[in-house]
Copies of this chain bind each other. A is one copy, B any other.
Amino acid sequence: MKLITEVAAQAGIGEEHLELYGKYKSKLSPSLWEDMKNKPDGKLVLVTAVNPTPAGEGKTLTTIGLAQALNAAGVKTVAALREPSLGPCLGMKGGATGGGKSQIIPADEINLHFTGDIHAVTSAHNLLSAMIDNHIFQGNELGLDPQRIVWKRVMDMNDRSLRNIVTGLGDGNGAVRESGFQITTASEIMAVLCLCDNLTDLKKRLNRILIGYDQEGQPVTAEQIGAVEAMTALLKEAVKPNLVQTLEGTPVIVHGGPFANIAHGCSSVIGTRYALKLGDVVVTEAGFGADLGAEKFMDIKCRQAGLTPSAAVLVVTVKSLKYNGGVPKNELQTENRTALRTGLSNLERHVENLGKFGVPVLVAINHFEGDSPEEITDVVEACRRLNVPAAISKVWAEGSAGGQELASELKKLLDHSDTERFAPLYENEIDISSKITKIVREIYRGAEVNFSPAAKRSLAVIERLGLNDLQVCMAKTPYSFSDQPRLLGAPEGFTVGIRDITLSLGAGFAVVITGNIVTMPGLPAKPAAEALWMDEDGVIHGLV
């Protein structure tokens, strides 16, 4: 592992701009931005994927491997990634730092506390929560309706027992009311941190956060609670991007990690901007499949930040296509070209969808050991028929060497890419229900949108408050284009049911809830935490 000062130096960052966290992690000081801000931007590449399956597609892996391969091919490249959340890391998922020969390091520290950014979000969030309940306790000058507080508490832990709780029990402990905890990555503050331009913009956005309604039904914001200055102070360091490296020494900015369902699921705008000044190419990723992640990346992140992607890399695996073709999880190892060909419909539609944003697409076939040559050929052939370039990626087993084809295809694409064709899917000016309908029809390919009574009431509130210029953030199952997890492949003609619409006014979007979205995961029967152990030298095992 190189010292982070070395990695920084190779990326052209002077030591005076580093705020070290140990020897292998560093925050980048705002002084670096002042130094670089007039430099031209590099080209932005989004790594996205087909609909996720239990087999894992390897989006983070591909992002890291591709960045390594581009550097090996002489293209100065920086990766911009999300920070893993501790809860899932100790729960079901394990670490989120890539794998094999394409990892970001120090993986254990990145997966655990890293530089404390998520903890800072937790603190800022819960300060607001405590000040809301204290406001009610101290006399409720604002006339808050305790039954209509929408701001919950957060914790970076998978803890299902905290999903629905009653607080304030006992004598002198405030108003008894129903509430709950979300995981920290689901906090609107995480979304705000990842969309803001700087500390000043962060503060503005925090001020706008809707915390509930008063007894007249009027919205009440964080600004009115008087918490925002202290929250900003708590986020002062978290707003600075973090620099780490890959196993091959490629610089990586790891910053922010908002939920991909009730938030937009991309690493921070600030981190992306730094990366674009440091690299000729920046490889970044978005959560879930392209129906959710890429759509939100384009429609929310790029729109708000004025970013223009030059290309999208769509990660697919033979297993994921077989799964989409109807093969159950435990039979994915077996060759099944019929199912594979059925499942290709999923890939085709994502390719087509990405075209709607005016972004050229490269398909990355993430190779697994059990894949048969014939299956791989089927995918390659399908891409040829679709007239979209494809490359086999072996970055897990081989690092940059296994990403040469991918890097070379991407270079060709970037050489001819015309960013002027990029456009978000919908105009910001159309109203919220039209935005939803457009996404459902053009990306998901549903026939109808069915708004529940609660959703209709929310639309009326949005209308009344004049908030139609918000973007929409779809909270939908990632496993299907539809809102039904088992509808695999490329379903059509379905109806998407909108259960509710909530307001993330600081983030600037309305969260459109389809189905039952869990914002506080639970632990499985065998939590990943149980497999973790530390040897006598303090080295952590069993995390990734």
**Contact at B227–A529, with CB atoms within 8 Å?**
yes
Would you give the shortest CB distance from A464 to chain B, in whole angstroms?
30
* Complex contact B130–A157 (CB within 8 A): yes
**Is residue A236 contacting chain B, with contact meaning CB distance below 8 A?**
yes
Nearest B residue to A170 via CB reads B164
Cβ contacts under 8 Å, A168 to chain B: 160-161, 164-165
Contact call B137/A538, Cβ cutoff below 8 A: no
**CB-defined A-B contacts under 8 Å, sample of 13:** A112-B234, A113-B119, A116-B116, A130-B161, A131-B527, A133-B161, A134-B527, A160-B174, A161-B168, A166-B166, A226-B530, A230-B532, A236-B540
Asked, given contacts A90-B127, A123-B86, A227-B529, whether A27 binds B22 with beta carbons under 8 Å apart, the answer is yes
Contact size range, A: 35 or more
**A138 in the interface (beta carbon within 8 A):** yes
Tell whether, in the assembled complex, residue A131 and residue B236 are in contact, meaning their CB atoms are under 8 Å apart: no
Known: A163-B170, A227-B530. 9 other contacts (CB 8 A): A20-B20, A20-B22, A22-B27, A109-B237, A126-B155, A127-B529, A130-B157, A164-B173, A173-B522
- A162: Cβ under 8 A from any B Cβ: yes
Contact residue among B139, B157, B237 (Cβ-Cβ distance under 8 Å from A127): B157
The chain B residue sitting closest to A540, CB to CB, is B233
Asked if A536 is at the interface of the complex by the 8 Å CB criterion, the answer is yes
Contact (Cβ within 8 A) A173 B169: no
Q: Are A112 and B233 in contact (CB under 8 A)?
A: yes
Which of B137, B159, B199, B227 touches A130 (beta carbons < 8 Å)?
Answer: B159
* Beta-carbon nearest neighbor of A159 in chain B: B130
Inter-chain contacts of A153 with B (CB < 8 A): 162
Least CB distance, A325 to chain B, in whole angstroms: 31
Question: Which residues of A in the span 70-120 have a Cβ within 8 Å of any Cβ on B?
Answer: 86, 90, 108-109, 112-113, 116, 119-120
> A residues within 8 Å of B by Cβ?
19-23, 27, 30, 86, 90, 108-109, 112-113, 116, 119-120, 122-123, 126-127, 129-131, 133-134, 137-139, 153, 155-170, 172-175, 178-179, 199-200, 203, 226-227, 229-230, 232-234, 236-237, 522-523, 525, 527, 529-530, 532-534, 536, 538, 540, 543
CB distance from A448 to the nearest CB of B (A): 28
Q: Quick one: copies of this chain in the complex?
A: 2
Query: When A161-B173, A165-B166, A229-B533 are in contact, do A137 and B527 touch as well, CB less than 8 Å?
Result: no
Bound Cα distance A197, B130 (Å): 36
Which chain B residues lie closer than 8 Å to A167 at the CB level?
A: 161-162, 165
Question: B163 to A166, Cβ gap below 8 A?
Answer: no
Q: Which residues of chain B are near A527, meaning CB under 8 Å?
A: 131, 134
Closest 8 CB pairs of A and B: A230-B529, A119-B119, A130-B159, A164-B170, A164-B169, A134-B523, A133-B161, A20-B20
| B residues less than 8 Å from A21 (CB atoms) | 20-22
Q: Is the CB of B137 within 8 A of A160?
A: yes
Query: Given the complex, which residues of B lie within 8 Å of A113, measured CB to CB?
Result: 116, 119-120, 123, 234, 237
Please name all residues of chain B whose beta carbon is closer than 8 Å to the beta carbon of A543 when the two chains form the complex: 233
